[in-house]
Every structure is written in C-alpha cells, then in structure tokens.
Structure 1
Amino acid sequence: MQRLSGLDASFLYLETRSQLMHVIGLVEIDPSTMPGGYDFAKLRTEMQRRVAAIPAFRRKLDNSVFNIDHPVWIEDEDFDIERHVHRVAVPAPGGAGEVAELCGHLAGQTLDRGKPLWELWIIEGLSNGRICAMLRMHHASTDGVTSAEMLARMCSLTPEPPELDAEKVRETAGPPSRATIAATGAINYFVQRPLAMAKLLPRTVSVPVGWLRRAQQQSAMPAPFMAPRTRFNSAITPHRSIALSQLSLDDVKRVKNHFGVKINDVVLALVGGAMRTYLLEHDELPEKPLVGMVPVSVHDADESDLVVEGTNKVTGMFTLLSTDVDDPVIRLEKQAEFSRKSKEHHAEIDANILRSWAQFAPGTTLSTVMKVYGERKLASAHPPIFNVLVSNVAGPDFPLYFLGCRVTAVYPLGPIFHGLGLNITVFSADGNLNIGILACTDQTPDPWEIANAFDDQLKQLLAACD
C-alpha cells in the first residue's frame, strides 16, 4: 500500500457535491489514422493493454476505521476496463458548442471512490469527423505535470502500438492491510507529525516577514484576500460550463520575441485582456487589477525532510493581471513587470512549505468545514482570495497519436472552488496553444465569450507587431 501525502489527501477532503476535485484532459483525435480503421471495442482493448503500464490507473483508495492518518492507495485486484472507458455520441449537429455542453455535464459528475479514480469518455458524432476523448482524473492522484505524463503514456509517436515499459508494468500499490494502515497511521500522527511541526514553524515565520518587507518596497506579489470582487467569487454549484480556444503557438512566440517578454507573460496578458473584455461587456469590470493564482510545479525542487512523497508536487504564485489597462501593448508590458515581481518574490519562499503544512490536514474536520462553507455560501462573506486560477503547461512540440489516432488538440480543464469559480488552463502542443476554460454555469453561463476574446486579444498584439 502507498499512503497519500497530505496535499493529495486534501483534494479528497475538499471535495463536496458542488466542489468537484478532478482534472480533465479533452483530446480531439483523428480516427482515420488508427491501424485497421477506427473501432471503439478495439480502442478500449488497446487502452486496457496500456493501463498495465500506468500504475496510477490501477490503484484505488483504501482506509480503516482505526486509521487516524491519511488514506492509502492499494492495487485494484478486480480492475475492469469496462467500468472506466465509456462511449457516447454528441448531440446534432456535433459542433464545438455541443461537445462543450456534453463535457460540461460529465464534468459535473462525481467519480466513484470505490474504484480507481479515473474514467475515459469516447465522444463520437462530431460534424468534422473527429472524435473527442475526455479523460477525468481525481486531483488526489495527479497534478498538471503527472497528468501530462500519464497522457503521454496513452500516446505514441506513430499510430502503431508501442512496447510497454516493463518497470511500470511491475510497479504496484500493493495489497490492503487494515492493521498496517492503522499502525503506521498512528506512528505518523503521534511521532512524526509533532517533530515535523517543530521544524516547520520556524521556517514558516519568515514568509510573512519577507512578504511585509517586499510590500514596503513595492516588490511583493499580491497577498491573499486582497482581490476585488467579481461574479466568479461566490459559492459554486455542481453545474459546469466549458469553452475552448486554440491559438497558433508561432503567433504567440512572435509576440513574445517582438516585445522581449516570456511566453507566460503573453499568456497572462491574453487572460487579462479576455477577462477585461468579458467583464466590460457585462459592466462589471473592477477599477483595481484582478488577481490570478498560477500553480507552480515543484517536481524539480529538492524534497524537504518534512514532505511525504506524493503525486501532487505543486505550490501557488499570486500575480496581478493588468485588467485595468485598455491598450494591449501597455497591458503586456505591465503584465511582464507584474510577473517578474511575483516570480522574484515566490522564489524566496520555500517551494515545499505548502506541501509540508498539508500533511496536517484534518480529514473529517476539513470535509465538514467545506460542506458548511459551501451550503452557507460563506465565500461571499469575506474578500476573494484571488479572482481566477491560471495554469500554463508546456507539452510536446511534435505530432502524437492517442491510442493510434492522430491528436489534433489537447484542452486541459482544472477544478474550481467555492469563491473561485473560474479556471483557465493553457497547454501548448504540436504548434498550438490550447486553452480550456471551466466555470460554474450559475456564475458564467457564457464562457465562450471569454474563449473568443483570446483570439481577438492575440490579433491586437500581432497588429502591434506589424
């Protein structure tokens, strides 16, 4: 068995019927490249073969009533591919709107915790002859980097089925043992955690001190609970709305090179411009800049002695978004400055401090608090922590084949939270910048207005390059 880290388990504790903690990869594929022609049964059989080399897809949760620590992963000895890979047809006429509506409905459903926490929906009937594969994975078992790695194991450089990684095939979470779960959990709780707390407290004190020092020098990233209120910052419901956009990566790089900024600066400027356009159209644009939270991978950081190894290796960086600026060029330049300050400030903070504190997450208590927090709509009772979650994940810049079918687009979709009802995730792959937008339908019934604004914002910056 493998015990979940505190951060991994936190995504289980945070989940309610309205606040669903899974991540989504929506992959558009061309079935004409599949060897021997497309056939759903054949595709599912090939998926079953590849799952043998994806250990995270074969493990499920286990716990004991005597366990006072986080749950564990065990190998699912009764794994059945038919419980995970499903087939559905998109309603006519099968355009992008119908696909997004169907995926929004699926995104609002909970994952069954009695089996491995993932499912794959093969969506047929698109008007362009393509197929969409919607992969849902619980955040407890993946983060942005690991989800990209798992997606890569379902892909290959050619349509032909690849050889499986023998080491991954042999890897296992192991069998269940309720006595071991309880015993090791008690040791962690009564022995290791007090020692970890004693080490963690002194390291944490320096964070607010450094933040205050930088704030006085006007070089700090924005603090939590300082964001202006928008429609996205209230309690959410289980209903999800999805919108997609695809931009040319060469066009984005052209803007980057012309203005001497980074790709992430261009992405954040596009986000700020799109949100400014959307909120202006609804007469809801705050005078103050919006605040974005950017997840930062710490996969390459040195492991802290206070951190238990887990799947999620991520922290967060706050940054202002230049939504208060009308001119797209000035907005980009200002965004680059905001990003620089935030990165310099974030670099001073221990990358593992969030994961270290997450080890102390109280499961039952946190689950109860989140339920009350959502039901009482308490997100509207305090200033917003931030306004939008923005992720930017770099993918392969070459063609891929998903279970034998040529990949034409990959749209990532991250979770939303009470008080934080908008997630914009960007994934660059094979010459394209794919943008996935997930929102709460009751807050944002029209996310396509945001998605369409990305194209317009990029065109304005390209015109400035000319």
Structure 2
Amino acid sequence: MQQLSAMDASFVYLETPHTPMHIGSVAIYDPSTAPGGFVRFKDILAFIEARLRGARSFRQRLVRVPFDLDHPYWIEDPEFDLEFHVRHIALPRPGDWRQLCIQAARLHSRPMDLTKPLWEFTVIEGLDNIAGLPPGCFALVCKVHHAAIDGMSGVEMSAAVHSISADVAPPPGDDPWEAENMPHVADLLARSYFNSLVQPMRVMETIGRSLPGMGRLAAQVGKGDVSLRSTRPAPRTRFNGKVGAHRVWDAVSFPLREIRAMKEAVPDATVNDVVLSIVGGGLRRYLQAKGELPKETLTAMAPISIRQEGEKAAMGNLVSAMTVGLGTQIKDALERLRFVHDEAANSKAMTNAVGAKTLSDYSQLMPSALAGLGARLYTRLGAANAHAPAYNCVVTNVPGSRVPLYFCGARMVGMYGSGPVFDGMGLINPVYSYGDTIAISFTSDRDMMPDPQAYAEALRESYEALRAAVERSAAPSAGARRAEAGRRRRAAGPKGADAAIPAA
C-alpha cells in the first residue's frame, strides 16, 4: 500500500459528476507502418498487456479511508481486467475532424469508475476525412485520473505503450506484478490515527522551511526586483463560474520552428512565453467578438514540474504553479509577447524566492476530512459564482518526443492534450509538442464555450498576427543593414579606384 499525497488526494475530493478530474490525450496513428499494414483490436489488447509493467498506474486502484479521515491509498488491484480499460468504437462517415472533436469531448465528460484503476483507453476508427492525414487512421483517446499522474509522469505512462520503431515484439523479461488483498477497515482507521499524531510536526516543518524563502521574497519586493502584481484577483469572465456536465474539445497545430523563431524577437523570451501570448491573443479575439473583453489582463495558471531526475516514473503530482498575465488588454501582438515575458519572469522570480517545492508542500497542511468536505460544499453551493477568480484559465506545457513514436506498429502522426475543468475555471489549454509541431489543445465547458471552432480560429489568427508582427519588427533591421552596406560601398568609391578608403 502507498498513501496518496495531499495534492493527489485533492483531485479525488474535487471529483463530482460534473467535474471529473482526469487528464488525457488524443493521439492519431497511421496503421500503414504496422505489420501487414493494419492493426486489429485484439492486437492492441495484446500489445498493451505485454507492457503493463512499464507504469505502476496501470494496475493500481484507490482505497478510501472511511469518512475520508485520512488520504486514500493505492493498492495493486486484485480484480484488474484489461478489457474494462481498453474500449473500441468507430466514427460514422465521413469521419472528419469535427466528428473526432465531438467524440473526444463526449468521452472526456464522463467520470471514471473510482473503484477501478484510474485510466481508460478508447480506440476510435474511421478517421477517413481529416485534412493532412491518410485515410484509415485511428485515434487513441486516453484518460488518466489526475490523482495518479501529472503531465510529466503522464509522459512516462505514454512511453510504456510506445516505441521508437514499428517493432511489436514484447519487451524481454517476466512480469513481476502481484495483486494485493483489500485492506481491512480497522487497519485503515489505525493508520489514520497514527498519521494524525504526526501532523503537527509536519506543519511546523513546512512552515520552518518556508520562512527563509518568505524573507527572500520580502527583500526582493522591497528592492523592487519583484512585483506582487500577479497576486491580485483576475477579472471575471464567462469561464469563471459553475461548470456543467458537458465538454467541448479542439486543437490547433503550428510549426515548432516558427514558434522558436518568434521568441527571438524578445530578448530572453521562451517558447512558453510565445505560447502564452498566442493564448492571450486568442482569448482577446474570442471575448472581444462577444463584447465581453475585460479592461484588465486575463491571467493563466501555469503548472511547474518539481519532479527530479530520479522521480520521472513516480506516481502522482509533483508540481507547483505560477500565475502569468496573458496581455489580453494589448492589441499589438509583439507588445503582448513582451508583456507576457515580463509577467512570466516576475512570477518565476516569486516562485524561486520561496521555492516551488515549498509552495507545493503547503497542500499537506489541510486535514483530509476538511479538504473533502470543503470541495463538496464549494461545488454544491455554487461558490465559484460569488467571488473573483484567482486566475482565468490554465495553460500547461508538456514536452513530447522529437522522434516518431509507434503504437502497436502504427506511426503516431498527431498528439494533442485534454484536461479537467472545474467550478471557477472552465478553460484549460494543454500544449503538446511532438516532432516538428506544437499543438495548443483546449477543453472547456459546453455552456461557457458553445462554439469551440470560433476559439480555435481565434488561436490561429493570434498566431498569424504574432508572426506578422515579428516579421515587421525584423524588416527595419534588415533594411538598416542594407543601408549600411550601401553607405560603405559609396564611401569606398568606384571598384578599383586608387583613392578608395574603407569606411570605418
């Protein structure tokens, strides 16, 4: 048995019929590279079964403590059934992108069975009419509960069922997995009692570790090196109320080399800054078209991985977060990128001063029973509609593979993300990079965003506007270099002249 951390357990407590707390992905594959040029469902089952040992999350289920007196535990599921977790459906003709988006949103809106290992794979066939993809492709819609993984450990889980070649041979060696018996109630209650005895020491230890960081932050604020502007409440938008039971999903892809070129327009800017500014431009266009654009900047919560090198395969969430202004109040795309870069740099400085891991440790301080009760009351009372939001949306960047990946011999041709929305935060933008592309996906509540195609188009327009702005900013520099070269030639005089004097 392994107990969940307070952060992992919080995703269990936040789970309601309207707010399923799982993350996921939508991957598209070309089966022409598989043995025989096609992939059967039974081949997929055998392929996954041979690789279950690659990630512990595949066969571990939750055991909750009575009355949530303590955080739940993971055990090796004695009733594990692979065919419960891997499903198979097909799109009706013509099998286009919009049909795939609707089906992915429908699958994502359904809560998972918390009495089973917390993951589901759905194979979707019939992708025959998607631009840029060969007919006959299939998709794999993955759902994994956020209590089990974060974005980075999700990459490790994905790696368990992918390879860098079309070879479908099972990995060598035996599977050492063994099931566990369900623990007795008396054992769980005894564990919760002893954990409650050491809780005061954990509180004092966490506070003690945070005091030096708080001192550093106060000193930096006093000197003006760090601003506390990112701690102010965000403006209220249509995405910051109580969510319903239905979801929308879509994604747009861009060339990664273009995104990298854009960051060169602002000194020290990063790819993440460019992505945040594109999202900011997309939200500006979307809300402006509805007459709902706030005068203040919208803000995004951006998770920060604190996973160390030796913790890549560890279950659960090892993350902190920072809040970044998206520059939605700025019309000029390049000026928005500069604003986002400054906001991100300031937020990183605040996080570094206190310590990202120390901030995440504060989640351990709330008693489990109060955490669960508070989450349920927050949802039932609709409290999200009664206060200013801490942030307007989430933008999470997950780095992917630079080389082609294969699933059951089929080559991956596209990779996109999905994520949970909940009361007070009805829009999440997972960002996945794969090969030479980077994709901005989004999941939202269907009542908050009834027209996901409009937001997808707004993201494309934001990207094009930033690219054009970067090109315009580079044009004067190129013109200045040409003018300088002409001045040098004129100063040198005619070619071969004896009196030619090189220009300084």
TM-score using structure 1 length: 0.92
Change in Cα spacing, 1:220 to 1:90, as seen in structure 2 (3 Å) is: farther
Query: Residues 264-313 of structure 1, C-alpha deviation per residue, up to 9 Å, x if partnerless?
Result: 1111111111111111111111111111110000002999xxxxx86210
Q: In structure 2, what is the equivalent of residue 194 of structure 1?
A: 200
The one of 349, 353, 364 equivalent to 2:354 is 349
Q: In structure 2, what is the equivalent of residue 11 of structure 1?
A: 11
Answer whether contact 2:56 2:315 (CA < 8 A) is retained: no
Within a 5 Å distance, the mapping from 1:47-66 to structure 2 comes to 47-65=48-66
Change in Cα spacing, 1:229 to 1:209, as seen in structure 2 (3 Å) is: farther
Deviation at 1:402, TM superposition (A): 1.8
Identity %: 32
Aligned amino acid, residue 143 of structure 2:
R
1:324 aligns with 2:329: yes
Deviation at 1:14, TM superposition (A): 1.2
Within a 5 Å distance, the mapping from 1:269-280 to structure 2 comes to 269-280=277-288
Within a 5 Å distance, the mapping from 1:190-229 to structure 2 comes to 190=197, 192-204=198-210, 217=224, 219-220=226-227, 222-224=229-231, 226-229=233-236
Answer whether contact 1:59 1:74 (CA < 8 A) is retained: yes
Change in Cα spacing, 1:173 to 1:212, as seen in structure 2 (3 Å) is: farther
1:393 aligns with 2:394: no
Q: Which blocks of at least 5 consecutive residues in structure 1 are unaligned?
A: 304-308
1:413 aligns with 2:403: no
Deviation at 1:91, TM superposition (A): 3.5
Deviation at 1:393, TM superposition (A): 1.3
Deviation at 1:416, TM superposition (A): 1.2
Q: In structure 2, what is the equivalent of residue 26 of structure 1?
A: 26
1:296 aligns with 2:301: no
Deviation at 1:38, TM superposition (A): 1.5
Within a 5 Å distance, the mapping from 1:54-453 to structure 2 comes to 54-65=55-66, 68-128=69-129, 129=135, 130-161=137-168, 163-164=170-171, 169-170=175-176, 174-178=180-184, 179-190=186-197, 192-204=198-210, 217=224, 219-220=226-227, 222-224=229-231, 226-260=233-267, 261-300=269-308, 311-453=316-458
Deviation at 1:371, TM superposition (A): 2.7
Query: Residues 350-390 of structure 1, C-alpha deviation per residue, up to 9 Å, x if partnerless?
Result: 22234323224444433333233223221111111110111
1:346 and 1:357 map into 2 onto residues whose CA distance is 14
2:158 and 2:111 map into 1 onto residues whose CA distance is 21
2:379 and 2:21 map into 1 onto residues whose CA distance is 14
Deviation at 1:440, TM superposition (A): 0.5
Answer whether contact 2:68 2:372 (CA < 8 A) is retained: no
Deviation at 1:462, TM superposition (A): 2.4
Answer whether contact 1:61 1:115 (CA < 8 A) is retained: yes
1:284 and 1:465 map into 2 onto residues whose CA distance is 28
Determine helix, strand or coil for the equivalent of 2:95: coil
Aligned amino acid, residue 199 of structure 2:
R
1:326 and 1:67 map into 2 onto residues whose CA distance is 49
TM-score using structure 2 length: 0.85
Deviation at 1:67, TM superposition (A): 7.5
Answer whether contact 2:214 2:354 (CA < 8 A) is retained: no
The root-mean-square deviation of aligned C-alpha atoms, in Å, is 2.4
Answer whether contact 1:90 1:125 (CA < 8 A) is retained: yes
1:465 and 1:348 map into 2 onto residues whose CA distance is 33
Q: Which blocks of at least 5 consecutive residues in structure 2 are unaligned?
A: 130-134, 472-504
Answer whether contact 1:72 1:181 (CA < 8 A) is retained: no
Answer whether contact 2:54 2:157 (CA < 8 A) is retained: no
Change in Cα spacing, 1:11 to 1:302, as seen in structure 2 (3 Å) is: same
Change in Cα spacing, 1:333 to 1:200, as seen in structure 2 (3 Å) is: same
1:450 and 1:314 map into 2 onto residues whose CA distance is 28
1:66 and 1:11 map into 2 onto residues whose CA distance is 16
Query: Residues 215-272 of structure 1, C-alpha deviation per residue, up to 9 Å, x if partnerless?
Result: 6637335445610111101011111111111111111112123444211111111111
1:394 and 1:289 map into 2 onto residues whose CA distance is 27
Determine helix, strand or coil for the equivalent of 1:245: strand
Q: In structure 2, what is the equivalent of residue 306 of structure 1?
A: none
2:352 and 2:437 map into 1 onto residues whose CA distance is 29
Deviation at 1:92, TM superposition (A): 3.3
Answer whether contact 2:302 2:321 (CA < 8 A) is retained: yes
Deviation at 1:18, TM superposition (A): 1.3
Determine helix, strand or coil for the equivalent of 1:397: coil
2:178 and 2:304 map into 1 onto residues whose CA distance is 28
Aligned amino acid, residue 300 of structure 1:
Q
Deviation at 1:163, TM superposition (A): 4.7
2:384 and 2:219 map into 1 onto residues whose CA distance is 29
Structure showing greater relative contact order (alpha-carbon pairs closer than 8 Å, 6 or more residues apart) = 1
Worse-matched range after superposition: 359-368 or 290-299: 359-368
Deviation at 1:109, TM superposition (A): 0.7
Deviation at 1:415, TM superposition (A): 1.1
Aligned amino acid, residue 463 of structure 1:
A
Deviation at 1:114, TM superposition (A): 1.4
Answer whether contact 2:210 2:354 (CA < 8 A) is retained: no
Answer whether contact 1:55 1:172 (CA < 8 A) is retained: no
Determine helix, strand or coil for the equivalent of 1:47: helix
Determine helix, strand or coil for the equivalent of 1:74: strand
Answer whether contact 2:39 2:408 (CA < 8 A) is retained: no
Query: Residues 287-343 of structure 1, C-alpha deviation per residue, up to 9 Å, x if partnerless?
Result: 11111110000002999xxxxx86210011011111111111111122111111111
Worse-matched range after superposition: 64-73 or 283-292: 64-73
Aligned amino acid, residue 61 of structure 1:
L
Determine helix, strand or coil for the equivalent of 1:359: helix
Answer whether contact 1:4 1:310 (CA < 8 A) is retained: no
